[in-house]
Amino acid sequence: MKLYRKDVNGVESVYIEVLGPQDVSGTRFLMKDRPDGSDEQYIYIPAVKRAIKVSPETRKQPFLGSDFYIADLVKPDINLYDYTFAGEEEIGGRKTKLVQATPKNPEGEIYGKTITAIDPQDLVVMRTQFFDKKDKLFKVLTVKKLEKIEGNWTPLDQEMADVQGSTNSTLSVQGVKYGVELNDGMFDRTYMLQERK
């Protein structure tokens, strides 16, 4: 798949176009993360040729059959959580600080809490542990490969392990370009409906 990201009038916007495998080719996603928390996500399904707004329930579904949920790909509203320091740990050769985030309103949330390992020197996330509502470890997202590209620390390989289901998925980035000029129209819902050559 190809992923494009741009700040459009203060809204962090992400457009994803799936290239394969064949059964999901042509699927498209549009995600808009607004500072006030009124986020929107849309999915274009080739079979019905429609862009559908993603409901809160759909966000809890696997992304293209993987161990990533759609919600895992969306930046959370930091104001909806309480934070506590949960210790320190060395991960991937980096000394990280562990930050626990607990939802202020757990009703409707997927996870009971998360613990994120952050390298305070470079401000990069090395691992996130997701716990279920019974406080049992559910999933673990780990950065397996991290490189500095054009001055930006960039995760190239990320693994999501479903601890309870004993499965895992890897998100592998094959190429990254920063500073590319992108048309604002690419991040409009109507762009998802256009035919591609």
Residue 119 to residue 117: CA distance in whole angstroms: 7
User: pTM value?
Assistant: 0.88
pLDDT at 6: 96
51-63 exposure pattern, b = at least 16 Cβ within 10 A, e = fewer:
beebeeeebeeeb
CA 58-109-104 angle, to 5 degrees, is 150
Write out the two tokens for 13. 């916007």
User: CA dihedral in degrees (117, 123, 125, 126; nearest 10)?
Assistant: -70
Residue 115 to residue 133: CA distance in whole angstroms: 14
pLDDT at 188: 94
Nearest-Å Rg of the Cα atoms of the chain is 17
Write out the two tokens for 58. 């759909």
Name residues of the chain where pLDDT drops below 70.
Answer: 197
pLDDT at 98: 98
Centre a 10 Å sphere on the Cβ of residue 163 and count the other Cβ atoms it contains.
17
Which SS3 state, helix, strand or coil, does residue 62 take? Answer: strand
Write out the two tokens for 43. 């999915």
pLDDT at 189: 92
Strands (E), the chain: 2-8, 11-17, 28-33, 40-45, 50-53, 81-91, 94-103, 113-119, 124-131, 137-149, 152-162, 167-172
Ordered by where they begin, the domains of the chain are 2-192 (2.50.20.10)
Q: What single-letter DSSP state applies at residue 151?
A: T
pLDDT at 5: 95
Q: Which of 112, 113, 81, 116 is nearest to 98 (CA)?
A: 116
